[in-house]
């Protein structure tokens, strides 16, 4: 898929030398044009616009001018959107001694402009042989909106005619300047050690996860519970009943339970809770855990429903798996409260700017849910994994990887798995395994906006397979249009193969859209429920193949 100019790196066995070579340290690429940009991985067709991906003939990266404000609309920024990464290559006028580099970037959380996780700096004296001289990896910034920079000084100066910045593109990466420091006097510069590759360092798995990779799980329903207290209302939002769970635990036809349906249920909070004050204080965290174990609702309702279905199917020992969520300790929505509060009863408020207290909060969140689960009676619901409740990895947070690693290691010590569901090409999606998740499931986000083309489903299918991820199924509403879009998901799954892998399903909060299909007396809408059953059981046939 073309966007940047096609180019070939010209070999130069005898690189030109500067006749007026100087030992003055300066920015060697100031004012230089980009020699070429290569895209490391998939770039979406609908993101190939100048707004999302700046053409490679624009000068912003090397014009010596920094953007005037930390605002994504400032024209001084060079844009990269999605894909795994970009490699930006420059050819220097002369063979030079390269000693360091600097990258200037925008962080603006409100529009998902992220700081890159890392930028590798590679050089070549001849266009053929390359060495990675170092990696800029500490783009840490606590402010939600800022102009940030990070730089590196190499262990020595190296001879180079070409230089490449290999940039991880985490969602939206807006850069206003790249700088490469050195001198044109190469008398004391070292020769490179050839052997590094210019392309992206990505481990392509090229298969969807087997069921055995994740607890034998086939179909996971995202079972939203816990609305903010002021949002519960007469509808009892977030308090799921047995009647609401029944058509998810069982496949019902002609009023009778015919078979099982979803084999796993993920408990996670509504967005009106996570965007409220409750998500940012100990009182709210305790309220959240209590909500899972609300009497006769949520987990208890699921337990009772599974027991009933198993009995009616002659399978009294039938179980489903349940997954709980780990709330995020770097609360990024709005201002932090003056005090988070005391989670563990030691009389001391937790400080979420401290790694130790963030780890303590994660441990409390896990321990409290495990203890409440074990104290109850849920023989038909087996707790086996926890969900990392954030949809991207915030590389600007210096504790992000450490807190994920802590959660992973602690859960593994208890015998549980850790998993993640990033949105489409979210920050860090390609690093899911390195981050420590046992499995990751990427959202295509096709269901919610009609401006997203159907091709997105196939792009997501290809990328998830390359990276060994599973696939989230999504429905964005209950009408003929949204039902048809969900069938697009099923068609793509049958055609590409992710139907035969671990699948996770978003359909709003329970009771949700599939429940409405089950209850609908309109045959065309009710048919969605029957198609869902066929898909869950891997018997669905794409409309193209009928």
- Confirm if 103 and 119 have CB atoms less than 8 A apart: yes
Q: What pLDDT was estimated at residue 275?
A: 86
Q: What pLDDT was estimated at residue 57?
A: 95
Higher-pLDDT residue of 308 and 51 is: 308
Q: What is the pLDDT of residues 49-63, one digit of tens each?
A: 888 999 999 999 999
Residue 331 has pLDDT above 70, yes or no: no
Residue 427 has pLDDT above 90, yes or no: no
Q: Look over the chain and give the mean of its residue pLDDT values, rounded to a whole number.
A: 93
Among the listed residues 32, 12, 180, 178, the one whose alpha carbon sits nearest the alpha carbon of residue 95:
12
One DSSP character per residue, 200-260 reads -------SPPPGGGGTT--EEEEEEE---GGG-TTTTTT---HHHHHHHHEEEETTEEEEE
Q: What pLDDT was estimated at residue 82?
A: 85
Q: What pLDDT was estimated at residue 3?
A: 80
Residue 378 has pLDDT above 60, yes or no: yes
Q: What pLDDT was estimated at residue 298?
A: 98
104: left (phi over 0), alpha (psi -120 to 50) or beta: beta
- Write out 154-186 in H/E/C secondary structure: EEEEEEEEEEEEEEECCCEEEEEEEEEEEECCC
Q: What is the pLDDT of residues 10-25, one digit of tens each?
A: 999 889 999 999 999 9
Does a cis peptide bond (omega within 30 degrees of 0) precede residue 511?
yes
pTM, rounded to two decimals? 0.89
Q: What is the pLDDT of residues 108-146, one digit of tens each?
A: 988 989 898 899 999 999 999 999 999 998 888 888 899
Query: What is the average pLDDT across 326-332?
Result: 79
Q: Is residue 17 classed as helix, strand or coil in its secondary structure? A: coil
Q: Where are the domains of the chain?
A: 26-183, 213-442
Higher-pLDDT residue of 200 and 462 is: 462
Residue 183 has pLDDT above 80, yes or no: yes
Q: What pLDDT was estimated at residue 219?
A: 98
Residue 334 has pLDDT above 50, yes or no: no
385 contacts: CB under 8 Å, gap ≥ 6: 214, 215, 321, 323, 411, 416, 417, 418, 419, 438
> Please, which pLDDT band fits residue 332 given cuts at 50, 70 and 90?
low
* Burial grade of 74 (CB within 10 A; 0-12, 13-18, 19 or more): middle
Q: What pLDDT was estimated at residue 333?
A: 43
Residue 485 has pLDDT above 80, yes or no: yes
Among the listed residues 200, 151, 141, the one whose alpha carbon sits nearest the alpha carbon of residue 179:
151
Q: What is the pLDDT of residues 219-247, one digit of tens each?
A: 999 999 999 999 998 889 999 999 999 99
- Confirm if 183 and 157 have CB atoms less than 8 A apart: yes
Tell me which range, 198-212, 320-334, 343-357, 517-531, is most confidently predicted by mean pLDDT.
517-531
Q: What pLDDT was estimated at residue 326?
A: 97
Residue 71 has pLDDT above 90, yes or no: yes
Q: What pLDDT was estimated at residue 337?
A: 55
Among the listed residues 131, 119, 136, the one whose alpha carbon sits nearest the alpha carbon of residue 85:
119
Q: What is the pLDDT of residues 434-471, one digit of tens each?
A: 999 999 999 999 999 999 999 999 999 999 999 999 99
Query: What is the average pLDDT across 360-384?
Result: 97
Question: Which CATH class for the 26-183 domain?
Answer: mainly beta
Report the alpha-carbon distance of residue 328 to residue 81 in Å, rounded: 25
Cα 479 to the chain's mean position, in Å?
29
Query: What is the average pLDDT across 497-526?
Result: 96
Q: What pLDDT was estimated at residue 277?
A: 86
Structure-token pair, residue 221: 């329903």
């Amino acid at each position: 898929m073309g966007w940047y100019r096609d180019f070939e790196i010209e070999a130069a066995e005898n690189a030109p030398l500067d006749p007026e070579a100087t030992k003055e340290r300066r920015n060697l690429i100031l004012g230089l044009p980009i020699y070429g940009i290569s895209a490391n991985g998939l770039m979406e067709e609908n993101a190939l616009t100048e707004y999302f991906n700046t053409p490679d003939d624009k000068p912003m990266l090397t014009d010596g001018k920094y953007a005037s404000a930390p605002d994504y609309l400032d024209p001084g920024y060079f844009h990269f959107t999605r894909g795994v990464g970009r490699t930006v290559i420059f050819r220097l006028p002369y063979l030079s001694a390269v000693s360091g580099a600097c990258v200037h970037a925008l962080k603006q959380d409100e529009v998902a402009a992220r700081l890159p996780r890392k930028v590798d700096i590679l050089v070549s004296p001849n266009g053929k042989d390359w060495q990675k001289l170092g990696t800029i990896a500490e783009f840490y910034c606590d402010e939600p909106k800022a102009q940030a920079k990070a730089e590196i000084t190499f262990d020595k100066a190296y001879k180079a005619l070409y230089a490449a910045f290999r940039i991880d593109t985490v969602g939206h990466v807006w850069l206003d300047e790249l700088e490469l420091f050195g001198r044109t006097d190469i008398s004391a510069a070292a020769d490179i050690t050839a052997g590094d590759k210019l392309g992206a360092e990505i481990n392509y798995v090229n298969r969807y996860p087997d069921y055995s990779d994740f607890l034998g799980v086939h179909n996971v329903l995202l079972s939203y519970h816990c609305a903010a207290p002021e949002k519960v209302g007469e509808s009892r939002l977030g308090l799921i009943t047995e009647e609401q769970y029944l058509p998810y635990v069982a496949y019902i036809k002609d009023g009778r339970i015919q078979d099982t349906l979803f084999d796993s249920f993920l408990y996670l909070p509504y967005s009106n809770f996570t965007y409220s004050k409750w998500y940012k204080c100990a009182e709210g965290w305790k309220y959240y855990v209590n909500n899972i174990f609300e009497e006769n609702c949520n987990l208890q309702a699921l337990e009772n429903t599974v027991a009933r279905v198993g009995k009616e199917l002659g399978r009294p020992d039938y179980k489903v798996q349940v997954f709980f969520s780990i709330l995020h300790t770097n609360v990024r929505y709005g201002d932090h409260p003056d005090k988070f509060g005391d989670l563990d009863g030691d009389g001391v408020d937790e400080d979420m700017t401290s790694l130790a207290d963030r780890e303590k909060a994660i441990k409390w969140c896990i321990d409290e849910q495990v203890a409440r689960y074990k104290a109850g009676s849920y023989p038909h619901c087996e707790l086996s994994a926890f969900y990392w409740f954030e949809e991207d990895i915030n590389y600007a947070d210096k504790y992000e990887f450490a807190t994920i690693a802590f959660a992973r290691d602690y859960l593994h010590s208890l015998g549980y798995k850790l998993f993640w569901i990033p949105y489409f090409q979210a920050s860090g999606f390609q690093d899911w395994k390195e981050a420590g998740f046992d499995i990751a499931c990427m959202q295509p986000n096709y269901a919610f906006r009609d401006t997203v083309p159907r091709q997105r489903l196939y792009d997501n299918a290809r990328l998830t397979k390359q990276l060994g991820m599973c696939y989230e199924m999504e429905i964005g509403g209950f009408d003929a249009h949204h039902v048809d879009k969900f069938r697009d998901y099923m068609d793509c799954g049958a055609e590409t193969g992710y139907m035969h892998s671990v699948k996770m399903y978003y359909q709003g909060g329970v009771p949700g859209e599939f429940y409405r299909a089950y209850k609908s007396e309109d045959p065309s809408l009710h048919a969605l429920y029957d198609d869902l059953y066929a898909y869950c059981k891997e018997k669905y046939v794409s409309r193209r193949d009928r």
